[in-house]
Structure 1
């Protein structure tokens, strides 16, 4: 079952569900968040709540995408209560680019492991603990709140001070915290964890700065567990032509951590278990156009697709004009 959010032909928010290739409007709800709250208040899960709500007209998802009417597959009525976070060095092969960055900067002599490679090896050795055991914690980063999310099809803004505007094709886990502070996993979506890799390359301690950028995820929320093997395509389109294209892999068969281990090390913090909050957690990637020497330009379009997740995630990049930073005192 897949869920989408969209604007109907009257400009009202609505929810759609895809099952068995057929997409229908879900009656009586205007957001996935509202649908989740109904599920939490009832005895059933999301599928049972959709059934209870009933289905309306058939939807054409491709037309909704063409017309720019798709929304991110979940949001929060108060954008400050949606948290976007992520983990790095979680995929087999993901350390190669980061390790090369460190070595290029002369941070470690030849033969000595960089910090990134050390952390990657920690994941290989203890990122997949047995059920009930605790594994090693991954690299973790904060990206922003709901204000940084660009809807599918809409431009991802890159600030004027950015040194790079690079895509990161990955999978995002989608969670809502219930009234008892228990994280509830809804499912997974395609994600573009947009980052500034040139800033990161200057020094890996700039990683936190490089991640404070916009992002996008969706358009569809795949309800349920994550497939063990995910193989999609990431591409950059410039002036109507494919500039760069490469497959990306995800799912636990291609990762150095289990999803459960990554989830534990995020939600072990009480800060992230506040009732009503939404969490979009990016699980990392091993595929970057930046690693192949690509430097994106204003107007380039990112396209990330994987058939198990429905519609592709497309977003152009827009370089913003410089904004003055004015600090006003009130004493």
Structure 2
């Protein structure tokens, strides 16, 4: 089965455009410059995003692999005002995801000593896939930041100067937009690196919120339509041209303890996440981490995440921000 994908392109002169890809073929869409613009058009016309894309006049053919290599592809979604793009996510949602978390917490996972993480995972396993129209178990939820922390293809994932670690999290991300009447629309899925500070989280699980306030990267393709039940991919770390760690990862609802619908309900049930015009990038979690295998990342390492039916990877080098001039952040009384 072939899937339609949307990509965002920026030419060297700064001109923006949207690309529609199907299988190995791709072409520019005339009359539209961003994915968000096309999504709002689809909502106004009462059609799907795929239908809106197909209704556009086809422009010249394009080799998306060549454009990826040239660095002209952007994240598949953005917003003119970065404050109106929210990055959030859910954890302990994948079969096996509690194992890695428990390794971090170094706690027993049975009997009276069951950890909060394991208990949340088991509750999700039992109630994360409710019948249609009913509410299931709510997942772990976290906030990552707004659109200024969204990193595009090939750009560096930069950890703060104070970070203890910068580690990959290979995931799927749901991409959403809120209509004028508050209706939430899922535009599609993107391959993602949710990028966290696992050393900080390991120190104390109550620091999870701190560990998640980091950049995140999306692959260049937005997968449209009903996603496959199973998605299998590979996550690896490349250092000085050599692969130092590589492992398969599984995602898609067949490999998860929650349905997308249940995770979406427990995010968008809050009124503040249904503000008209806002874009949401919501990370669905993972069960595969190099950190769980004892890998310590270094600046310059490249994270590469790939998975069919996406044809292009998420590939980003690791960097560290320069230390601020002052040792502490000072707030002035006014």
Aligned to 2:272: 271
User: 1:63 is matched with which residue: 37, 62, 66?
Assistant: 66
**Aligned positions of 1:34-49 closer than 5 A:** 34-49=37-52
Contact 1:103 1:114 in 2 (8 A): no
Shift of 1:103: 2.8
Show CA shifts across 1:7-62 (max 9, x none): 12433111101024211001111110111111111132222222332110111111
Aligned to 2:297: 296
Aligned to 1:74: 77
1:249 is paired with a residue whose SS is: strand
Show CA shifts across 1:163-187 (max 9, x none): 1110000000010001110100111
**Aligned positions of 1:1-331 closer than 5 A:** 1-103=4-106, 112-323=113-324, 324=326, 325-329=328-332, 331=334
Paired with 2:166 and 2:105, the residues of 1 have a C-alpha distance of 20
Paired with 1:211 and 1:113, the residues of 2 have a C-alpha distance of 24
| CA 1:204–1:52: 2 relative to 1, 3 Å | same
| CA 1:55–1:109: 2 relative to 1, 3 Å | closer
Contact 1:159 1:319 in 2 (8 A): yes
Q: Which deviates more, 45-54 or 165-174? A: 45-54
Contact 1:3 1:222 in 2 (8 A): yes
Paired with 2:248 and 2:110, the residues of 1 have a C-alpha distance of 32
Structure 2 residue runs of 5 or longer lacking an equivalent are none
2:106 is paired with a residue whose SS is: helix
Shift of 1:159: 0.8
Contact 1:174 1:281 in 2 (8 A): yes
1:309 is paired with a residue whose SS is: coil
| CA 1:207–1:284: 2 relative to 1, 3 Å | same
Contact 1:302 1:315 in 2 (8 A): yes
Shift of 1:115: 0.5
Q: Which deviates more, 92-101 or 318-327? A: 318-327
Q: Which deviates more, 27-36 or 49-58? A: 49-58
How many matched pairs?
329
Show CA shifts across 1:57-96 (max 9, x none): 1111112111111110000110000000000000000001
TM-score, normalised on structure 1? Answer: 0.96
Contact 2:175 2:189 in 1 (8 A): yes
| CA 1:48–1:109: 2 relative to 1, 3 Å | closer
Shift of 1:206: 0.3
Shift of 1:210: 0.2
Contact 2:100 2:288 in 1 (8 A): no
Shift of 1:320: 1.3
Paired with 1:5 and 1:140, the residues of 2 have a C-alpha distance of 29
Q: Which deviates more, 189-198 or 50-59? A: 50-59
Shift of 1:102: 2.2
Contact 2:231 2:308 in 1 (8 A): no
Show CA shifts across 1:294-321 (max 9, x none): 1110010000001212211100011111
Paired with 1:139 and 1:202, the residues of 2 have a C-alpha distance of 18
